[in-house]
């Protein structure tokens, strides 16, 4: 009786998670229920309950095989596209070219490539924003894996009468650079094969051809860091994809309580200059060197406080390297790498 109640409550929990779309959590609970059932010999209706749970599990994992329209982003209605164009242009003067440019780039980021191209192609006709708009036209083509499209577009501009030679050569250099980055060495005047570039990885920097364009691009770059491969964005995957985030919290600074040396018993706080997984790098200015005199490679730190934006916690670490910076503006400073061993 007791076991029955337990199974029932686990199943109820699983059911709630399922209804909330928390697939991974639901699957885990269903499996927990299955485990409990199979370890219980005397249970009545054992087989029936098991097969009912298994069919739930099947339907949960079956759902993930339906990527939306083979993974591409849905084409939104014109109204919604207008809304995006309007809401995601960040300039104050909504009607000006810079705002239209920003809106067009946002449309591209939201996967509305055709509409983005339509807007950008209008801007290419305008002297002040021509170069930056053209660069983003190229980005759009590359984002849908169309190297051919990008090159064809370039040639069209080349043949047109509105594209000044100066602008054309900037855009050409940009196109070459993009292709090179994707590992394609193509003579732009020759036919090229379509390869698979990384989509919208970033909108590379402007080379400062014209002041206005550069400013506009800076904004784009700011907004764009970390822009991911667009192809993933259309999937409705299983809940597992929620699990991709790194395991280590970002640590801003640490407090070390010294157990030896002149600082014995005192606690000193240091900023973390760089973090890679569980290794923290601190740069100690030359004039504060004395503070870390007692810390050598291999020194154990048994009392560290880690300060992250979310929490403070205690732990231990070991000095994994200690080097003096020999060149550059930080010459003479000490770089300490601390590996977190326990938190």
143: partner contacted, choices other proteins, ligand GTP, none (Cβ within 5-8 A by kind): none
Longest dimension (CA), the chain: 86
Nearer to other proteins among residue 162 and residue 313 (C-beta): 313
Separation between Cα atoms, residue 37 and residue 46, nearest integer Å: 7
- Partner whose binding site includes residue 250, from other proteins, ligand GTP, none (CB under 5 to 8 Å by kind): other proteins
- Residue 129 near residue 123, CB atoms below 8 Å: yes
Terminus-to-terminus CA distance in the chain, angstroms?
A: 42
- The residue (of 60 and 186) whose beta carbon lies closer to ligand GTP is 60
Closest CB to ligand GTP among 21 and 298?
21
Instruction: Name the minimum Å distance from CB 165 to other proteins.
Output: 35
The candidate with the shortest Cα–Cα distance to 259, out of 283, 306, 284, 295, is 295
**Residue found by looking up tokens 């880690």 in the block:** 306
Residues numbered 221-260 forming contacts with other proteins, rule: CB under 8 A: 222-223, 225-228, 230, 232-237, 239, 241-245, 249-250
Tokens 């099947």 found at: 58
For other proteins, the closer CB: 12 or 51? 12
- Interaction between residue 82 and other proteins (CB under 8 A): no
Decide: helix, strand or coil at residue 301.
Answer: strand
Min dist. Cβ of residue 18 to other proteins (A): 11
**By CB under 6 A, what part of segment 6-45 binds ligand GTP?**
20-21
Q: Which residues contact 9 (CB under 8 A, 6 or more apart)?
A: none
Contact status, residue 283 vs residue 273, Cβ threshold 8 Å: yes
Q: Whole-angstrom Cα distance, residue 191 to residue 97? A: 33
Question: Cα–Cα distance between 187 and 260 in angstroms, integer?
Answer: 65
Write down the least CB distance from residue 198 to ligand GTP, Å.
26
Minimum distance between the CB of residue 253 and other proteins, rounded to whole angstroms?
12
DSSP state of 317: E
* Number of residues lying near other proteins (CB under 8 A): 52
Among 46, 52, 71, 87, binds other proteins (CB under 8 A): 87
Question: What are 207's two structure tokens?
Answer: 């080379």
Task: Report if residue 312 touches other proteins, rule: CB under 8 A.
Answer: yes
**Judged by CB under 8 A, which of 4, 6, 25, 57 binds other proteins?**
25
# binding residues, ligand GTP (CB under 6 A)? 2
Query: Residue numbers of the site for ligand GTP (CB under 6 A)?
Result: 20-21
């Amino acid at each position: 009786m007791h076991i029955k109640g337990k199974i029932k409550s686990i199943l109820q929990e699983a059911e709630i998670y399922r209804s909330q779309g928390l697939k991974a959590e639901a699957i885990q609970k269903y499996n927990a229920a299955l485990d409990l059932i199979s370890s219980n010999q005397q249970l009545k209706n054992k087989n029936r309950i098991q097969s009912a749970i298994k069919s739930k599990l099947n339907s949960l994992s079956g759902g993930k095989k339906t990527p939306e329209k083979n993974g591409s982003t849905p084409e939104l209605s014109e109204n919604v596209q207008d809304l995006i164009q309007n809401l995601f242009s960040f300039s104050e003067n909504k009607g000006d070219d810079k705002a239209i440019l920003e809106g067009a780039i946002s449309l591209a980021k939201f996967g509305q490539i055709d509409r983005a191209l339509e807007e950008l192609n209008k801007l290419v006709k305008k002297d002040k924003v021509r170069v930056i708009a053209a660069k983003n036209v190229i980005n759009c083509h590359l984002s849908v894996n169309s190297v051919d499209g990008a090159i064809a577009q370039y040639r069209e501009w080349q043949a047109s009468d509105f594209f000044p030679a100066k602008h054309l050569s900037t855009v050409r250099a940009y196109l070459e650079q993009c292709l090179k980055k994707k590992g394609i060495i193509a003579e732009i005047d020759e036919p090229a094969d379509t390869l698979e570039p990384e989509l919208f990885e970033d909108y590379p920097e402007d080379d400062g051809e014209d002041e206005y364009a550069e400013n506009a691009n800076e904004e784009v770059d700011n907004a764009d860091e970390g822009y991911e491969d667009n192809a993933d964005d259309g999937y409705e995957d299983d809940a597992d994809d929620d699990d991709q985030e790194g395991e280590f919290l970002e640590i801003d600074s640490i407090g070390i309580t010294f157990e030896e040396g002149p600082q014995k018993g005192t606690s000193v706080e240091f900023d973390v200059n760089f973090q890679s997984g569980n290794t923290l790098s601190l740069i100690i200015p030359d004039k504060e060197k004395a503070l870390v005199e007692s810390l050598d490679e291999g020194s154990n730190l048994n009392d560290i406080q880690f300060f992250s934006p979310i929490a403070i916690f205690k732990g231990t670490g070991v000095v994994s390297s200690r080097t003096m910076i020999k060149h550059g503006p930080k010459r003479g400073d000490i770089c300490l790498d601390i590996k977190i061993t326990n938190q």
